[in-house]
Structure 1
Amino acid sequence: MKVNSVSKHVTVVALLLLSTAAMAQNTELVKEKWHWNNKTRQDTTAGYAQVVKVDNVLYISGAVSTEITPEGITNVYRALEQSLKSFGTTFQHVVKENLYTTDIEAMKKYNYARKVFYNNDFPAATWVQVSRLYMSDAKLEVELVAHLPEK
Structure 2
Amino acid sequence: MRTVEAEREARWSATLHAHQRRVTRQRLAVLAAVEQLPHATADDAATAVRAELPHITVQSVYVILADLTGIGLLRRIETPHSPARYETRVNDNHHHAVCTGCGRIEDVDCAVGHAPCLTPEWSPGASRMTIQVAEVLYQGLCDDCRPAAPHHPPTHHE
TM-score, normalisation: structure 1 = 0.27
Q: Which has the higher strand share?
A: 1
Higher RCO (Cα < 8 Å, 6 or more apart): 1
